[in-house]
Structure 1
């Protein structure tokens, strides 16, 4: 690949746009205007380029596996004071790590003359040797011989034991008859003969067991001789693979603005997740620091069809992932002035809880949007803490169920452990009826339906949830259209289960309604709020012995 600069000058006139005072906080941000322009220009390139071919799933009839891709832009300033941007993609693109329009990877494993490819050839040779030994005719013959020996031994032992059992029954019958019919001397003689027969039979059984033990050992040894060679090759392969892994960890060495480097192994204590360091953001910052370019603003967007598990919308901006990127970027952004982390700001400040129902046993409260149900890692202010302050004599967990921080509406609170356990049991038995109202960012053609998409947490990007048929927990939602508007649809959701982000994922996922809730900053597009509200609940009052229904309407 020829040497060239990856600094891209803006096509659009940006002279009137002010530069941000701080760099983008990468895990929750609204893209700066310059980032949006850079992303738009990169998207124009993706739509018109002929440098390479990749199936994003955007063109009908295009052949190949559909793979959507995360792209990133980093607005930078060069040493001459000029403002431009860098572009990158996560992972590889069109089966390659390097393309002219994009910054190179931190380390390219795919170079044919690189150490990884050379070591990979050695590992593949080990694989071939192991496979050849495992499929060798003599080895298979020895395995068959061992299996046959074990089968014959078991058959022989079973037959001999059954015969011995029958002989014992016959001897017992002879003893009883001799005792009743023979004189004392004849009886003693018969007993002696039967005893010798029993001893002889016992000796024969021991001899048989010894014989088969030796035969099995001989057959096993033949198998073990082959298996030891295979195990030795596997141990050698394991050692070389581990050494290669450590070497890779060292090659992935990340810079920061102070010129300090830190390897992937050191960042993740020699246990990084798969593909760590291959995302767009680390690639962009690495290139900028290596070439003395000052980072100004960052943005990443998805291009192509959404994956089947996680939710990614074509052309939408997304934050950097927490599992793979957060530890790396913590080092790379060290010492840089970043935008404030909104996750550390108390969203409940100046907001109040409203009591929709209250008696000496329980309460039903209205939780405003952007208000924690329970204390978080950084923020203690929550429905729980406010309720505990108002009712200091209340015991138990207090909160019977939860709402996402961004969701507004009804929460049921218990003032004693006994009431809490009773209400919890109702939720677990799914006898509690809940209704949510949501405004969806698109048109829904059907009038009603049911969504069954199992969910689990995205281990690489908490707290996001994935649709996972293998490891996910069952999640069921019934829905009904209430009103169709110009570009949105108002619906009622009736969650049958209560999984984290269930309604948000079921609304946004392609196999669900494929229409995110308005304002969903995780699975859709950010707005002034998340337009999801817990509107009604019906449950059995544990003490009053009657059904209690509470409604908390909102205007969307």
Structure 2
């Protein structure tokens, strides 16, 4: 298999476990074949996480911020007919570049000459200037600080829209749309912050781009539980509503 993110199963898979169609990602019924894929991925995480910077909360040798992550597996059939799965995580991890077996973000940070990095730097610089003007404390400086706050807000809104325009997803039929269009057509709202970086959309995007047939999907939490205990180590969870429902509805051609 030529695709570096395609992971073959290490053990034999019974034919009866191969689903005839993709499960609903918003219903917490985890297909058995996904449990097998998840266990294989979890073994990989256990064996390799000491090599990574990201601290999931299991290593006494790491003193950086502890942060668990949602991981996803998508069981697929390749265009050559091979059975395996894809894996990735939601958001970002502290390792750059991340391990190559994981499907990458749909958004390429180098787009348009690294516009997102340059834009964030400019916004940060405005923030530094606002702080200095407030510390100065004169009437003129406070008026200027207020003006710059509005400039920063407008720049932030513009930059986020440009970012969402660069998140482009492909559906089963090969149609491509950006996040702004997907959310507008779904329910008339703007994309939620962080939309497009969850595991499920990233996995499906890779599968469609590489002509793989999605068979089963599941997501699980890996790492220290959240403070509210709504995410626990190794437990499975459905796709999120705010960020994923409009995207997956478009990608799978079914309004969830």
TM-score range, shorter chain: 0.7 to 0.9
1:239 to 150, 154, 171: 154
State the match for 2:167 in structure 1. 252
State the match for 1:265 in structure 2. 180
2:219 to 289, 300, 307: 300
The 5 Å alignment of 1:420-431 reads: none
- Give per-residue Cα distances to partners, 1:424-467, cap 9 Å, x unaligned: xxxxxxxxxxxxxxxxxxxxxxxxxxxxxxxxxxxxxxxxxxxx
Structure 1: 5+ residue stretches without partners? 144-222, 342-556
**d(CA) in 2 for partners of 1:290, 1:52:** 28
Change (3 A) 1:237 1:97: farther
State the match for 1:513 in structure 2. none
Change (3 A) 1:97 1:271: farther
1:283 aligns with 2:198: no
Does structure 2 retain, via aligned residues, the 8 Å contact 1:305–1:314? yes
State the match for 1:491 in structure 2. none
Length-normalised TM-score, structure 2: 0.86
State the match for 2:85 in structure 1. 85
Does structure 1 retain, via aligned residues, the 8 Å contact 2:226–2:232? no
The 5 Å alignment of 1:66-81 reads: 66-81=66-81
State the match for 2:40 in structure 1. 41
Does structure 1 retain, via aligned residues, the 8 Å contact 2:199–2:219? yes
> Aligned to 2:242, what secondary structure does the other structure show?
coil
**d(CA) in 2 for partners of 1:54, 1:236:** 35
Q: Using the TM superposition, give the Cα deviation of residue 105 of structure 1 relative to its aligned residue in structure 2, in angstroms.
A: 0.9
Does structure 2 retain, via aligned residues, the 8 Å contact 1:17–1:34? no
Q: Using the TM superposition, give the Cα deviation of residue 18 of structure 1 relative to its aligned residue in structure 2, in angstroms.
A: 4.5
Does structure 2 retain, via aligned residues, the 8 Å contact 1:106–1:277? yes
1:320 aligns with 2:235: no
- Give per-residue Cα distances to partners, 1:182-207, cap 9 Å, x unaligned: xxxxxxxxxxxxxxxxxxxxxxxxxx
Does structure 1 retain, via aligned residues, the 8 Å contact 2:75–2:86? yes
Does structure 1 retain, via aligned residues, the 8 Å contact 2:52–2:95? no
Length-normalised TM-score, structure 1: 0.42
- Give per-residue Cα distances to partners, 1:64-117, cap 9 Å, x unaligned: 222111111001111111111100101112254743120001214599x62100
Which structure shows the bigger proportion of residues in strand conformation? 1
Which structure shows the bigger proportion of residues in helix conformation? 2
**d(CA) in 2 for partners of 1:335, 1:91:** 25
Change (3 A) 1:86 1:126: same
State the match for 1:115 in structure 2. 115
Q: Using the TM superposition, give the Cα deviation of residue 297 of structure 1 relative to its aligned residue in structure 2, in angstroms.
A: 0.6
Relative contact order, higher structure (CA 8 A, sep 6+): 2
State the match for 1:128 in structure 2. 128
Does structure 1 retain, via aligned residues, the 8 Å contact 2:170–2:251? yes
State the match for 1:226 in structure 2. 141
Does structure 2 retain, via aligned residues, the 8 Å contact 1:38–1:75? yes
Does structure 1 retain, via aligned residues, the 8 Å contact 2:103–2:202? yes
> Aligned to 1:70, what secondary structure does the other structure show?
strand
State the match for 2:100 in structure 1. 100
1:329 to 233, 239, 248: 248
Does structure 1 retain, via aligned residues, the 8 Å contact 2:22–2:214? yes
Change (3 A) 1:97 1:295: farther
> Aligned to 1:24, what secondary structure does the other structure show?
coil
Change (3 A) 1:110 1:128: farther
**d(CA) in 2 for partners of 1:243, 1:295:** 35
> Aligned to 1:243, what secondary structure does the other structure show?
helix
**d(CA) in 1 for partners of 2:179, 2:25:** 19
Change (3 A) 1:282 1:227: same
Q: Using the TM superposition, give the Cα deviation of residue 48 of structure 1 relative to its aligned residue in structure 2, in angstroms.
A: 0.2
Pick the structure with greater CA Rg.
Answer: 1
Does structure 1 retain, via aligned residues, the 8 Å contact 2:53–2:95? no
> Aligned to 1:114, what secondary structure does the other structure show?
helix
State the match for 2:54 in structure 1. 54
State the match for 1:437 in structure 2. none
State the match for 2:230 in structure 1. 311
> Aligned to 1:91, what secondary structure does the other structure show?
coil
Q: RMSD of aligned C-alpha atoms? A: 2.7
**d(CA) in 1 for partners of 2:250, 2:98:** 24
Does structure 1 retain, via aligned residues, the 8 Å contact 2:170–2:208? yes
**d(CA) in 2 for partners of 1:97, 1:265:** 28
**d(CA) in 2 for partners of 1:56, 1:288:** 27
**d(CA) in 1 for partners of 2:62, 2:182:** 40
Does structure 2 retain, via aligned residues, the 8 Å contact 1:70–1:303? yes
> Aligned to 1:268, what secondary structure does the other structure show?
helix
